[in-house]
Amino acid sequence: MDTTQEIPPAYLAKWQKTLDILAELFEVPAALIMRVWPEQIEVLLASLGESNPYEEHEKAELGTGLYCETVMATRSPLLVPNALADPAWDHNPDLKLNMVNYLGVPLIWPDDEIFGTICVLDAKTRTYSEQYQMLLWHFKEVIEADFRKILHPADAGGIDEQRIKLLEGKIEAMLGELGRALRDGDRTEALVPRVPREAVEAWPIK
């Protein structure tokens, strides 16, 4: 497929809201959607906020050891609690922005070509429970369902629409589950960060 496929503005706006929700849910300064090009990787979208050091549309050369390069190469999630404490990551370029913590998953076109990643980054050591990692994975799945609608607008209804509703339902259920756990007083390390009410109420994105 043509990997230069243009993303319609309506989808960019939807994904922007997704990133803003992610940044609030995970209590991180940066939530990003990255898009890969033949020799570079681009910040396609970045969560809004003064503490986010990444700028929309900024590009970096591939082959420099970015977190996202490993995610794309392995097509697998990557969690780095603190790059400074990990010899495999203590020299990566994101440290220049003080982004020592990373959680990211791959975004893949319907034809199995890599689009890029969706990820969250922080300036302090973080670990994320399986629930939060699965939450990010479900957001990825919603975006990948959007990919199919972008490439095949004539077939946008039916199965894909049902799949998106199913995924949105899973996300909503997970948000409710996490919120209830915190209301019940479970502030264990596994459930940090909190679940802001505003983020829960903002989902699903219309």
206 within domain boundaries: no
196 pLDDT band, cuts 50/70/90, is very low
> What are the pLDDT digits (tens) for 48-58?
999 999 999 99
Residues 6+ apart with CB under 8 A from 138: 167, 170, 171, 174
Provide the domain limits for residue 62: 9-201
> Which residues on neighbouring strands pair with residue 33, listed in sequence order?
45, 118
115 within domain boundaries: yes
182 within domain boundaries: yes
What mean pLDDT is reported for the chain? Answer: 83
> Which residues on neighbouring strands pair with residue 114, listed in sequence order?
108
4 within domain boundaries: no
Q: 104, exposed or middle or buried, with CB in 10 Å at 0-12, 13-18, 19+?
A: buried
Quote the pLDDT of residue 52: 97
Cα 46 to the center of its chain, rounded Å: 10
Residue 191 predicted with pLDDT over 50:
no
Which of 156, 151, 165, 199 minimizes the C-alpha distance to 179? 199
d(CA 92, CA 87): 10
DSSP one-letter string for 87-121: TTTTT-GGGGGT--EEEEEEEE-TTS-EEEEEEEE
pLDDT average, residue stretch 57-71: 96
Quote the pLDDT of residue 131: 85
Look up the CATH number of the domain holding residue 153: 3.30.450.40
**Is the CB of residue 45 less than 8 Å from the CB of residue 38?**
no
157 within domain boundaries: yes
Quote the pLDDT of residue 194: 46
195 pLDDT band, cuts 50/70/90, is very low
3 within domain boundaries: no
- CA distances from residue 169 to 103, 165, 166, 204 in whole angstroms, order as listed: 23, 6, 5, 8
2 within domain boundaries: no
> What are the pLDDT digits (tens) for 127-178?
998 888 988 998 999 899 899 889 887 665 554 566 666 656 666 666 656 5
Quote the pLDDT of residue 165: 64
Indicate whether this model's pTM tops 0.85. Answer: no
Number of folded domains that form the chain: 1
Crossing angle of helices 130-151 and 9-26, in 10° steps, is: 180
141 within domain boundaries: yes
d(CA 96, CA 25): 25
Residue 73 predicted with pLDDT over 70:
yes
